[in-house]
Amino acid sequence: MQKNKVALVTGGTRGIGRSIVLSLAENLCSHLAFVYNSSDELAETLKQEIEKLNCEAFPIKSDVSNFNSSLDVVDQVVAKFGKLEILVNNAGVTKDNLLLRMTEDDYDKVLNVNLKSVFNYTKAVSRQMMKQRYGKIINITSVVGLIGNAGQSNYAASKAGIIGFTKSTAKEFASRNININAVAPGFIETDMTDALNDEQRKALLSNIPMSKMGKPEDVSNLVKFLAGDESSYITGQVITVDGGMVM
Protein backbone atom coordinates (compact mmCIF):
# COMPACT_ATOMS: atom_id res chain seq x y z
CA MET A 1 0.00 0.00 0.00
CA GLN A 2 1.53 3.30 -1.07
CA LYS A 3 1.57 6.05 1.53
CA ASN A 4 1.02 9.04 -0.74
CA LYS A 5 -2.53 10.26 -0.12
CA VAL A 6 -3.72 13.65 1.14
CA ALA A 7 -6.53 13.57 3.72
CA LEU A 8 -8.66 16.03 5.67
CA VAL A 9 -10.36 14.95 8.91
CA THR A 10 -12.82 17.10 10.86
CA GLY A 11 -12.95 16.80 14.65
CA GLY A 12 -9.53 15.20 14.73
CA THR A 13 -8.06 15.78 18.18
CA ARG A 14 -10.07 13.45 20.45
CA GLY A 15 -11.41 9.90 20.70
CA ILE A 16 -12.44 8.29 17.44
CA GLY A 17 -11.28 11.26 15.35
CA ARG A 18 -7.79 11.11 16.82
CA SER A 19 -7.56 7.37 16.16
CA ILE A 20 -8.65 7.95 12.54
CA VAL A 21 -6.05 10.69 12.03
CA LEU A 22 -3.20 8.53 13.36
CA SER A 23 -4.31 5.46 11.39
CA LEU A 24 -4.42 7.40 8.11
CA ALA A 25 -1.07 9.06 8.85
CA GLU A 26 0.54 5.71 9.56
CA ASN A 27 -0.94 3.72 6.68
CA LEU A 28 -2.12 5.88 3.76
CA CYS A 29 -1.12 9.53 3.93
CA SER A 30 1.99 11.53 3.20
CA HIS A 31 0.08 14.73 4.10
CA LEU A 32 -2.84 15.14 6.48
CA ALA A 33 -4.89 18.15 7.55
CA PHE A 34 -7.22 18.06 10.53
CA VAL A 35 -9.80 20.56 11.73
CA TYR A 36 -10.31 21.26 15.44
CA ASN A 37 -12.36 23.80 17.36
CA SER A 38 -11.09 24.03 20.93
CA SER A 39 -7.72 22.94 22.31
CA ASP A 40 -4.58 24.31 20.61
CA GLU A 41 -2.55 22.15 23.00
CA LEU A 42 -4.21 18.90 21.89
CA ALA A 43 -3.81 19.94 18.25
CA GLU A 44 -0.09 20.59 18.69
CA THR A 45 0.42 17.24 20.46
CA LEU A 46 -1.41 15.44 17.66
CA LYS A 47 0.61 17.30 15.00
CA GLN A 48 3.83 16.04 16.59
CA GLU A 49 2.49 12.46 16.72
CA ILE A 50 1.50 12.60 13.04
CA GLU A 51 4.92 13.87 12.01
CA LYS A 52 6.62 11.01 13.89
CA LEU A 53 4.76 8.73 11.44
CA ASN A 54 6.51 10.37 8.48
CA CYS A 55 3.42 12.34 7.44
CA GLU A 56 3.21 16.13 7.16
CA ALA A 57 0.52 17.52 9.46
CA PHE A 58 -1.59 20.65 8.93
CA PRO A 59 -3.86 21.55 11.89
CA ILE A 60 -6.55 24.15 11.16
CA LYS A 61 -8.75 25.75 13.81
CA SER A 62 -12.20 26.33 12.34
CA ASP A 63 -15.94 26.18 13.01
CA VAL A 64 -17.19 23.22 10.97
CA SER A 65 -20.77 24.51 11.01
CA ASN A 66 -19.77 27.63 9.05
CA PHE A 67 -20.01 27.08 5.29
CA ASN A 68 -17.56 29.80 4.21
CA SER A 69 -14.98 28.62 6.76
CA SER A 70 -15.27 25.12 5.30
CA LEU A 71 -14.59 26.41 1.78
CA ASP A 72 -11.58 28.29 3.13
CA VAL A 73 -10.20 25.19 4.89
CA VAL A 74 -10.42 23.09 1.73
CA ASP A 75 -8.80 25.86 -0.34
CA GLN A 76 -5.93 26.03 2.17
CA VAL A 77 -5.38 22.26 2.05
CA VAL A 78 -5.38 22.11 -1.77
CA ALA A 79 -3.11 25.17 -2.01
CA LYS A 80 -0.65 23.61 0.44
CA PHE A 81 -0.64 19.99 -0.80
CA GLY A 82 -1.84 20.28 -4.43
CA LYS A 83 -4.63 17.70 -4.08
CA LEU A 84 -7.16 16.27 -1.61
CA GLU A 85 -8.20 12.65 -1.95
CA ILE A 86 -9.72 11.63 1.39
CA LEU A 87 -12.29 13.47 3.50
CA VAL A 88 -13.47 12.11 6.86
CA ASN A 89 -16.44 14.00 8.30
CA ASN A 90 -16.08 13.14 11.97
CA ALA A 91 -16.84 16.35 13.92
CA GLY A 92 -19.69 15.91 16.37
CA VAL A 93 -21.23 17.18 19.60
CA THR A 94 -23.99 16.06 21.95
CA LYS A 95 -26.52 18.16 23.87
CA ASP A 96 -28.63 15.38 25.37
CA ASN A 97 -32.01 15.97 26.97
CA LEU A 98 -35.56 14.70 26.87
CA LEU A 99 -37.54 16.51 24.18
CA LEU A 100 -39.72 18.29 26.77
CA ARG A 101 -36.62 19.88 28.25
CA MET A 102 -34.56 20.34 25.08
CA THR A 103 -34.05 23.94 24.00
CA GLU A 104 -34.14 25.13 20.41
CA ASP A 105 -30.49 26.11 20.80
CA ASP A 106 -29.56 22.56 21.90
CA TYR A 107 -31.30 21.17 18.82
CA ASP A 108 -29.79 23.69 16.39
CA LYS A 109 -26.24 23.36 17.75
CA VAL A 110 -26.20 19.57 17.33
CA LEU A 111 -27.71 19.67 13.84
CA ASN A 112 -25.32 22.42 12.71
CA VAL A 113 -22.15 20.75 13.96
CA ASN A 114 -23.04 17.13 13.21
CA LEU A 115 -25.06 17.34 10.00
CA LYS A 116 -24.54 20.72 8.36
CA SER A 117 -20.77 20.27 8.61
CA VAL A 118 -21.06 17.13 6.46
CA PHE A 119 -22.85 19.17 3.79
CA ASN A 120 -20.30 21.99 4.14
CA TYR A 121 -17.20 19.85 3.69
CA THR A 122 -18.61 17.45 1.11
CA LYS A 123 -19.66 20.39 -1.05
CA ALA A 124 -16.32 22.11 -0.46
CA VAL A 125 -14.25 19.10 -1.63
CA SER A 126 -16.57 18.02 -4.47
CA ARG A 127 -15.08 20.19 -7.23
CA GLN A 128 -11.51 19.16 -6.43
CA MET A 129 -12.44 15.46 -6.30
CA MET A 130 -14.43 15.70 -9.56
CA LYS A 131 -11.45 17.39 -11.24
CA GLN A 132 -9.18 14.58 -10.00
CA ARG A 133 -11.80 11.97 -10.93
CA TYR A 134 -10.98 10.36 -7.60
CA GLY A 135 -12.10 10.75 -4.02
CA LYS A 136 -13.03 8.92 -0.82
CA ILE A 137 -15.49 10.47 1.59
CA ILE A 138 -16.25 8.72 4.88
CA ASN A 139 -18.98 10.14 7.12
CA ILE A 140 -19.04 9.14 10.78
CA THR A 141 -22.65 8.56 11.82
CA SER A 142 -23.84 6.43 14.79
CA VAL A 143 -26.01 3.41 15.59
CA VAL A 144 -28.28 6.00 17.25
CA GLY A 145 -29.07 7.27 13.75
CA LEU A 146 -30.39 3.78 12.92
CA ILE A 147 -32.30 2.89 16.09
CA GLY A 148 -32.86 6.16 18.01
CA ASN A 149 -32.20 6.76 21.68
CA ALA A 150 -34.35 8.42 24.35
CA GLY A 151 -32.90 11.77 25.35
CA GLN A 152 -30.99 12.12 22.10
CA SER A 153 -33.61 13.18 19.55
CA ASN A 154 -31.34 15.96 18.26
CA TYR A 155 -28.29 13.69 18.02
CA ALA A 156 -30.29 10.84 16.44
CA ALA A 157 -31.80 13.24 13.89
CA SER A 158 -28.35 14.55 12.95
CA LYS A 159 -26.88 11.06 12.59
CA ALA A 160 -29.88 9.72 10.62
CA GLY A 161 -29.52 12.78 8.39
CA ILE A 162 -25.90 11.84 7.68
CA ILE A 163 -27.07 8.40 6.51
CA GLY A 164 -29.57 9.88 4.02
CA PHE A 165 -27.02 12.44 2.87
CA THR A 166 -24.39 9.71 2.35
CA LYS A 167 -26.67 7.58 0.19
CA SER A 168 -27.85 10.54 -1.93
CA THR A 169 -24.39 11.96 -2.57
CA ALA A 170 -22.96 8.48 -3.25
CA LYS A 171 -25.48 8.18 -6.10
CA GLU A 172 -24.61 11.65 -7.42
CA PHE A 173 -20.84 11.14 -7.47
CA ALA A 174 -20.47 7.41 -8.26
CA SER A 175 -19.85 7.99 -11.97
CA ARG A 176 -16.97 10.38 -11.11
CA ASN A 177 -15.03 7.68 -9.22
CA ILE A 178 -15.84 9.20 -5.84
CA ASN A 179 -16.82 6.71 -3.13
CA ILE A 180 -18.97 7.96 -0.26
CA ASN A 181 -19.74 5.71 2.71
CA ALA A 182 -20.85 6.02 6.32
CA VAL A 183 -19.49 4.31 9.42
CA ALA A 184 -21.88 3.88 12.37
CA PRO A 185 -20.05 3.20 15.64
CA GLY A 186 -21.87 1.69 18.59
CA PHE A 187 -20.53 2.15 22.10
CA ILE A 188 -16.81 2.88 21.85
CA GLU A 189 -14.46 3.44 24.81
CA THR A 190 -13.77 7.19 24.82
CA ASP A 191 -13.82 10.06 27.34
CA MET A 192 -17.62 10.08 26.99
CA THR A 193 -18.12 6.44 28.01
CA ASP A 194 -15.55 6.75 30.83
CA ALA A 195 -18.16 8.84 32.67
CA LEU A 196 -20.58 5.89 32.93
CA ASN A 197 -21.04 4.29 36.36
CA ASP A 198 -20.94 0.49 36.87
CA GLU A 199 -24.71 0.13 36.72
CA GLN A 200 -25.00 2.11 33.48
CA ARG A 201 -22.11 0.16 31.94
CA LYS A 202 -23.71 -3.18 32.89
CA ALA A 203 -27.07 -2.17 31.40
CA LEU A 204 -25.37 -1.01 28.23
CA LEU A 205 -23.30 -4.19 27.79
CA SER A 206 -26.42 -6.34 28.20
CA ASN A 207 -27.61 -4.98 24.81
CA ILE A 208 -24.38 -5.89 23.00
CA PRO A 209 -24.10 -9.54 21.83
CA MET A 210 -20.28 -9.39 22.11
CA SER A 211 -20.68 -8.12 25.73
CA LYS A 212 -17.99 -5.49 25.41
CA MET A 213 -17.45 -1.96 24.15
CA GLY A 214 -15.41 -1.27 21.07
CA LYS A 215 -12.12 0.59 20.90
CA PRO A 216 -11.45 3.67 18.74
CA GLU A 217 -9.16 1.46 16.62
CA ASP A 218 -12.14 -0.73 15.69
CA VAL A 219 -13.60 2.31 13.93
CA SER A 220 -10.37 3.69 12.48
CA ASN A 221 -9.44 0.31 10.98
CA LEU A 222 -12.67 0.37 8.97
CA VAL A 223 -12.16 4.02 7.97
CA LYS A 224 -8.64 3.14 6.78
CA PHE A 225 -10.09 0.37 4.58
CA LEU A 226 -12.79 2.64 3.12
CA ALA A 227 -10.21 5.38 2.48
CA GLY A 228 -7.88 3.02 0.63
CA ASP A 229 -8.01 1.56 -2.86
CA GLU A 230 -9.15 -1.91 -1.70
CA SER A 231 -12.67 -0.51 -1.23
CA SER A 232 -13.00 0.93 -4.74
CA TYR A 233 -16.28 -0.93 -5.49
CA ILE A 234 -18.01 0.01 -2.23
CA THR A 235 -20.18 3.12 -2.11
CA GLY A 236 -23.38 4.33 -0.45
CA GLN A 237 -23.02 1.89 2.44
CA VAL A 238 -23.63 2.29 6.16
CA ILE A 239 -21.39 -0.09 8.09
CA THR A 240 -21.96 -0.56 11.82
CA VAL A 241 -19.09 -1.15 14.25
CA ASP A 242 -21.12 -2.16 17.27
CA GLY A 243 -20.39 -5.68 18.51
CA GLY A 244 -23.69 -6.84 16.99
CA MET A 245 -25.89 -4.37 18.90
CA VAL A 246 -28.08 -3.21 16.00
CA MET A 247 -28.29 -6.72 14.53
Residues taking part in catalysis: 155
- Collapsed DSSP state (helix, strand, coil) of residue 37: coil
Residue 175: exposure state from Cβ atoms within 10 A (0-12, 13-18, ≥19): exposed
**Nearest partner of 20 among 202, 225, 205, 173, judged by Cα:** 225
Determine contact, residues 92/17, Cβ cutoff 8 Å: no
Measured distance CA(244)–CA(240) in Å, rounded:
8
Q: In sequence order, what E strands does the chain have?
A: 5-10, 29-36, 56-61, 86-89, 135-140, 178-185, 238-241
Measured distance CA(101)–CA(212) in Å, rounded:
32
**Nearest partner of 15 among 217, 156, 157, judged by Cα:** 217
Residue 225: exposure state from Cβ atoms within 10 A (0-12, 13-18, ≥19): middle
Measured distance CA(110)–CA(107) in Å, rounded:
6
**Nearest partner of 18 among 219, 233, 242, judged by Cα:** 219
